[in-house]
């Protein structure tokens, strides 16, 4: 499946402005994903904090700060911009989440492996 388009979920499975988790084969390896929906766009990242490589979330699928303005890492409080994964607060400031190409087609969310 690596390199191919992979169905992750329906767009309506992610509430607008909220996050979800997923799994996909990225580069020949199954990876956990961070997905954040903004309207008709879904931003996708590998679920691995650039600080020490740990998963970001405590509860599956819940990746956002309370005000929903940033992606949050629960381990040491890093905050990442939703739009580009850039860390604006925390121990990995200046580093970024690894982006994954996501696309929406016919109301479904796909990622490119
Ligand atoms: S592991 Fe994410 S901030 Fe430390």
Residue 8 in contact with residue 24, Cβ under 8 Å?
yes
Whether residue 56 is predicted with pLDDT greater than 90 in this model: the reply is yes
Q: What residue spans define the domains of the chain?
A: 5-112
Nearest ligand 1 atom, CA 52: 1
Whether residue 1 is predicted with pLDDT greater than 70 in this model: the reply is no
Q: What is the DSSP string of 14-69?
A: S-TT-EEEEEEEETTEEEEEEEEEETTEEEEEES--TTTS--S-SSTT--B-TTSS
Nearest residue (CA) to ligand 1, atom 3: 76
Determine the Cα–Cα distance for residues 42 and 28; give it in Å rounded to an integer.
Answer: 22
Domain 5-112 of CATH type 2.102.10.10: yes
Going from the Cα of 59 to the center of ligand 1, the distance in angstroms, rounded, reads 15
Q: Span 46-55, mean pLDDT?
A: 98
Q: How confident is the model over 19-46, as pLDDT tens digits?
A: 999 999 999 999 999 999 999 999 999 9
Task: Establish whether residue 55 lines the binding site of ligand 1, counting it when its CB lies within 6 angstroms of any ligand atom.
Answer: no
Nearest one of 58, 31, 59 to 46, comparing CA atoms: 31
Reported pTM: 0.96
Q: How confident is the model over 73-104, as pLDDT tens digits?
A: 999 999 999 999 999 999 999 999 999 999 99
């Amino acid at each position: 499946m690596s390199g191919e388009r992979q169905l992750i979920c329906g767009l309506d499975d992610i509430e607008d402005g909220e996050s979800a988790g997923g799994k996909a084969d990225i580069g020949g390896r199954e990876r956990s994903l961070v997905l954040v929906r903004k309207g008709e766009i879904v931003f996708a990242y590998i679920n691995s904090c650039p600080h020490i490589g740990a998963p970001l979330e405590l509860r599956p699928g819940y990746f956002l700060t309370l005000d929903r303005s940033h992606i949050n890492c629960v381990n040491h409080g890093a905050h990442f911009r939703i739009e580009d994964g850039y860390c604006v607060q925390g121990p990995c400031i200046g580093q970024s989440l690894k982006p994954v190409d996501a696309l929406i087609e016919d109301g479904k969310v796909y990622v490119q492996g």
